[in-house]
């Protein structure tokens, strides 16, 4: 196993308690402290237990229940992110995303440890091949913070291990054998918890595969550990373009000056930034909060990319909202915000069904001559269709995963019975992997 970062809490402060009590929210003064600005110090001094929490927040409520939940799902919060808590209550969005809750133990039967069935689509340990042209490479199980709503709660933080040389080589070999994969998402855990050198080892290995066009990195460090975005990191990343980064802001309170600065450094290095939010009850399920978040993101030069419906994962039932609430929020955003600031609302379908975009219904009726549409104000308009239009036949053929709904729409296929797809073959060929770690 290669563990990149020493994980013990430092003996010597600056004391977390003092820092947090003096600095309930980040201030220029606290961010000016050299230790506070050092991402390794922040990482080593994460609050990892209820006792750590109590040292930082002596008035923390319901500690016995917090302890109960923390025994099941790992706890870690950087001092920086803890300092964004404004109120010691689940009413506070940052508190809600960071502090364990006994509600995590309420698990109706339809929840799963791995609702997206990533483990089933894993041909080699750590590499998920779900869509024909994309792959997901999980390179670490460590995060700066363990979000209470995490989809990978089954593994994130269970063991803070990083991908071994052997498994990285196997993943790269698989990418070479599958030139249809053009886009690799490096994720985890959080890949930016690796040292810059260790991360470069992964990125350069992926970049060495000629058929890989785009490397994307999924990271929440601009939100939970913005000091991780250092000039050294940015200089390394810009050598491997095209690199894209998706981050994960969920609430406007996370858009601090430090976070905005971190995003700016990445964008200045030519790295396009997208944001993937999760719709969370009591955090961002108010349309006006989502509007504020999206406006703040574009101001910070981050494109709101996805708004995810919360996955059916064990431990997050109390954070889920009905899909109808998401549609209502999308209805509210359209017309108020420029299209650039509106994310795509998606349900990542249980059972490994992939991302399904969900929209309010804008087509009211359709005939061969006219389509009736409505706008966000409720205005109805008739759009006359062009006369005598015949579609050009697309000659590009079918995708690697066989016929899709697009083939039905184009009249090339009468029906689809999705009993057997390419991913099922991949599942059959994969080794019997139980994904518990990367070493």
Q: Note whether 300 and 260 are within 8 A (CB).
A: yes
Q: Which stretch binds ligand SF4 (CB under 6 A): 53-61, 132-140, 150-158, 327-335?
A: 150-158
3-state secondary structure string across 355-414:
EEECCCCCEEEECCCEEEEECCCCCEEEEECCCCCCCCCCCCCCECCECCHHHHHCCCCC
Q: Are 356 and 349 in contact (CB under 8 A)?
A: yes
Choose, from 55, 112, 134, 430, the residue flagged as catalytic: 134
- Of 146, 308, 345, 435, the residue at the interface with ligand SF4 (CB under 6 A) is 146
- Choose between 198 and 209: whose C-beta lies nearer to ligand SF4: 198
Gap between the terminal Cα atoms of the chain: 5
Q: Could you tell me the maximum CA-CA distance found in the chain, to the nearest angstrom?
A: 78
Among 98-106, 108-116, 168-176, 188-196, the segment contacting ligand SF4 (CB under 6 A): 188-196
Is 143 tagged catalytic?
A: yes
Specify the residue, 148 or 170, whose C-beta has the smaller distance to ligand SF4. Answer: 148
- CA distance linking residue 380 with residue 365, whole number of Å: 10
Closest approach of Cβ 189 to ligand SF4, in Å?
6
Has 134 been annotated as catalytic?
A: yes
- Mapped onto helix, strand or coil, the DSSP state of residue 348 is strand
For ligand SF4, the binding residue among 48, 129, 152, 170 (CB under 6 A) is 152
- Give 16 or 97: the residue with its C-beta nearer to ligand SF4: 97
Using CB under 6 A as the binding rule, whether residue 280 contacts ligand SF4 is answered as no
Q: Which member of 48, 146, 311, 423 is catalytic?
A: 311
DSSP strand pairing (273-278 vs 363-366): unpaired
Give the strand pairing for 363-366 and 370-374.
antiparallel
Three-point CA angle 307, 309, 311, nearest 5°: 130
Our CB check for ligand SF4 shows the closer of 189 and 252 to be 189
Question: Which one of residues 47, 69, 85, 150 is an interface residue with ligand SF4 (CB under 6 A)?
Answer: 150
Q: Which of 124, 156, 225, 333 binds ligand SF4 (CB under 6 A)?
A: 156
Catalytic-labelled residue, pool 176, 201, 238, 355: 355
Within 297-356, which residues bind ligand SF4 (CB under 6 A)?
A: none
What's the rounded Cα separation, in Å, for the pair 258 and 27? 10
Cβ(331)–Cβ(117) under 8 Å?
A: no
Q: Which of the residues 92, 114, 143, 190 is marked catalytic?
A: 143
- Over the window 207 to 236, marking each residue x when it contacts ligand SF4 by CB under 6 A and - when it does not, the resulting string is -------------x----------------
- Which position among 56, 94, 147, 229 is part of the footprint of ligand SF4 (CB under 6 A)? 147
Length of the chain: 439
Q: Which two tokens stand for residue 368?
A: 């061969």
Q: Show which residues are catalytic.
A: 130-131, 134, 143, 147, 150, 152, 311, 348, 355
**By the criterion CB under 6 A, which residues form the site for ligand SF4?**
143, 146-147, 150, 152, 156, 188-190, 220
């Amino acid at each position: 196993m290669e563990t990149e970062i020493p994980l013990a809490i430092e003996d010597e402060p600056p004391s977390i308690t003092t820092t947090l009590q003096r600095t309930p929210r980040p201030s220029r003064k606290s961010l000016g402290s050299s230790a506070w600005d050092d991402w390794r110090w922040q990482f080593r001094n994460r609050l990892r237990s209820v006792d750590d929490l109590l040292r930082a927040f002596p008035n923390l409520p319901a500690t016995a229940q917090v302890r109960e939940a923390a025994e099941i799902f790992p706890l870690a919060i950087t001092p920086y992110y803890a300092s964004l808590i404004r109120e010691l209550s689940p009413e506070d969005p940052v508190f809600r995303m960071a502090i364990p809750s006994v509600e995590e133990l309420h698990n109706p039967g339809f929840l799963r440890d791995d609702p997206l069935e990533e483990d089933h689509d894993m041909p080699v340990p750590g590499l998920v091949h779900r869509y024909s042209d994309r792959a997901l490479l999980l390179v670490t199980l460590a995060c700066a913070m363990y979000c209470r709503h995490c989809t990978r709660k089954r593994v994130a933080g269970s063991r803070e291990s990083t991908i071994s040389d052997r498994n990285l080589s196997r993943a790269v070999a698989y990418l070479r054998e599958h030139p249809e994969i053009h886009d690799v998402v490096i994720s985890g855990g959080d890949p930016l918890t690796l040292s810059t050198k260790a991360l470069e080892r992964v990125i350069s290995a992926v970049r060495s595969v000629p058929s890989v066009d785009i490397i994307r990195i999924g990271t929440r460090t601009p939100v939970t550990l913005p000091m991780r975005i250092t000039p050294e990191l940015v200089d390394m990343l810009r050598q491997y373009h095209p690199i894209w980064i998706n981050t994960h802001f969920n609430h406007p309170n996370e858009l601090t000056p430090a976070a905005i600065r971190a995003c700016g450094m990445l964008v200045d290095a030519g790295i396009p930034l997208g944001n993937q939010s999760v719709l969370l009850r009591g955090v961002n399920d108010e349309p006006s909060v989502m509007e504020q978040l999206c406006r703040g993101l574009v101001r910070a030069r981050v494109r709101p990319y996805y708004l995810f419906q919360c996955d059916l994962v064990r431990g997050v039932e109390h954070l889920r909202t009905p899909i109808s609430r998401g549609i209502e929020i999308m209805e509210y955003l359209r017309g108020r915000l420029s299209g650039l600031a509106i994310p795509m609302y998606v349900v990542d379908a249980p059972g490994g069904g992939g991302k399904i975009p969900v929209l309010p219904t804008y087509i009211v009726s359709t005939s061969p001559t006219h389509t009736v549409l409505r706008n966000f104000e409720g205005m109805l308009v008739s759009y006359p269709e062009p006369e005598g239009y015949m579609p050009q036949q697309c000659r590009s053929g079918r995708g690697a995963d066989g016929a899709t709904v697009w083939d039905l729409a184009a009249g090339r296929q009468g029906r689809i019975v999705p009993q057997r797809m390419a991913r099922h073959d991949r599942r059959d060929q994969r080794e019997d992997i139980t994904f518990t770690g990367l070493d």
